[in-house]
Amino acid sequence: MGSWQRWLRAPQTLPLRRLLFQVHLWLGIGVGLYVLLISVSGSAIVLRPQIARWFTPSEVPAIVGVPLQGAELAARVVAVYADARVVRISEPQREGRSTYVLLEREGREQSRYFDQYSGQDLGPTFPWQVATVEWLTRLHDDLLLDRPGRRWNGVGGLLFLGMVASGLVLWWQGSGRWQDGLLIRRSSRRSLFWQMHSALGFWSLLLLFIWGFTAVYFAWPEPFDRFIDFLDEDLQDDTRPDSWLLWMIQLHFGRFRGLLWANVLWIALGLLPAILYVSGFVLWYRRVLRVWWRQQDSGTP
């Protein structure tokens, strides 16, 4: 039986596949926690614009009566924030917007939103919910390290693409068993975690590739921009042949304006790399670690 026939019928017998299995395994072990971190933080920030809109009290709850203005507004603000020094008051430029107030308490500046209709404090301009999401955004985008962190994310994206490519090759079980990697079935001889790892990895292949590819682009955009310029014969026009890249970026962040259900779906899909890591770790534990620990307990060399 030639190599091609062995690949079609029994790929497990090929040395190259066994090598790729080790590559996939050790990439997963080496960068698995990183993938878990990026996956969970990425899902957590999908609703970033909505959370800022929901929790930032930049609009007054209701427009009733005549708003306070000028000296009357300043006097009311001073009375409400009597425990602090009022540094600045910025009256809204549009109807329905709340008043911005900058305060100083114990030598530290704080900003609040003030309802000029009811004369009540609405809350901080940067509430903890928004601050938490912004911290998670920095963690996801650059690992809290600014530009160097963005490049480390690019390295992580390359390693992640290596896992995706090797996982695709390993998914092929042979012409007689390839269906095992498509669905999760009770009748399968494979464990639930094996089926989850194989089926979810296969059906999410495009998304996994997009996430890894765009991570590399965010770290090093210049080569991609030069390639796009190379494809554009007229560099003086206003259009660029980069619609494919913009589409991938939108999918990376889950930008679906006005479609909350799509954002919620993207939160779930964003957890796929985390699920793949957990299922892969369980498989490794069962096949390697648990066997090794049992051997150690029994004294078997």
Query: DSSP per residue over 16-83, as a string?
Result: HHHHHHHHHHHHHHHHHHHHHHHHHHHHHTTTHHHHHHHH---B-S---SPPP-HHHHHHHHHHHTTT
Lowest model confidence (mean pLDDT) among 112-116, 253-257, 284-288:
253-257
Please, which pLDDT band fits residue 266 given cuts at 50, 70 and 90? Answer: very high
Average the pLDDT over 47-62 and give the result. 94
pLDDT of 71 reads 94
How many CA atoms lie within 13 Å of 39's alpha carbon, on the beta-carbon side? Answer: 20
Residue 90 pLDDT exceeds 80: yes
For residue range 240-249, what is the model confidence (pLDDT) as tens digits?
778 889 999 9
287 pLDDT exceeds 70? yes
Element (H, E) at 134: helix 128-142
Over residues 135-148, the mean pLDDT reads: 95
Separation between Cα atoms, residue 167 and residue 163, nearest integer Å: 6
Give pLDDT, residue 299.
Answer: 64
What's the whole-number average pLDDT of the chain? 91
pLDDT of 26 reads 92
Do residues 142 and 155 lie in contact, with contact meaning Cβ atoms separated by under 8 Å? no
Weakest-pLDDT range from 91-95, 184-188, 204-208: 184-188
Lowest mean pLDDT among 33-37, 42-46, 227-231: 227-231
- pLDDT above 80: residue 298: no
Contacts with 117 (C-beta within 8 Å, 6 or more apart), sequence order: 60, 62, 63, 64, 65, 67, 68
Rounded mean pLDDT, 163-168: 95
The reported pLDDT for the residue numbered 140 is: 96
CA–CA distance, 202 with 196 (Å, rounded to integer): 10
Give the closest residue to 184 by CA, choosing from 203, 163, 158: 203
First-to-last C-alpha distance (Å) of the chain:
37
Q: What pTM, to 2 d.p., does this model score? A: 0.87
Q: Which amino acid is at 196?
A: M
